[in-house]
């Protein structure tokens, strides 16, 4: 079973490509954008292709076998 890890952001929304880098799911913003373009990232269980998709507290983002749930500080 996949482990879901919490990630806390200071303010919402955060763009999907920024969140992937911030959460450590990708090493660079370019890698994040490429993963999104290649339809390898899902938000709340659905493939997401918008790099600038606004992510809010409570959203679950999955990539490369890892899932994070976003919380707000």
Query: Could you tell me the CATH number of the domain that includes residue 64?
Result: 3.10.290.10
Strands (E), 1-73: 4-9, 14-15, 41-43, 46-47, 54-55, 60-63, 66-72
Give residue-wise pLDDT tens across range 59-72: 999 999 999 999 99
- The boundaries of the domain holding residue 10 are 4-72
pTM over 0.85: yes
- 31-40: per-residue pLDDT in tens? 999 999 999 9
Give residue 3's pLDDT band: very low, low, confident or very high (50, 70, 90). Answer: confident
Alpha-carbon gap, residue 56 to 6, rounded angstroms: 13
Instruction: Give residues with Cβ within 8 angstroms of 30, minimum separation 6.
Output: none
Q: How many residues does the chain have?
A: 73
pLDDT in tens, 4-57: 999 999 999 999 999 999 999 999 999 999 999 999 999 999 999 999 999 999
Number of domains composing the chain: 1
Please answer whether residues 14 and 22 qualify as being in contact, where contact means their C-beta atoms are separated by less than 8 angstroms. yes
Q: What is the pLDDT of residue 1?
A: 59
């Amino acid at each position: 079973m996949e482990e879901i890890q919490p990630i806390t952001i200071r303010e919402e929304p955060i763009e999907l490509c920024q969140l992937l880098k911030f959460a450590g799911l990708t090493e660079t913003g370019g890698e994040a954008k490429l993963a999104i373009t290649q339809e390898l990232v899902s938000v709340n269980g659905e493939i997401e292709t918008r790099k600038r998709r606004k992510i809010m507290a409570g959203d679950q983002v999955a990539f490369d076998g890892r899932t994070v749930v976003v919380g707000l500080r």
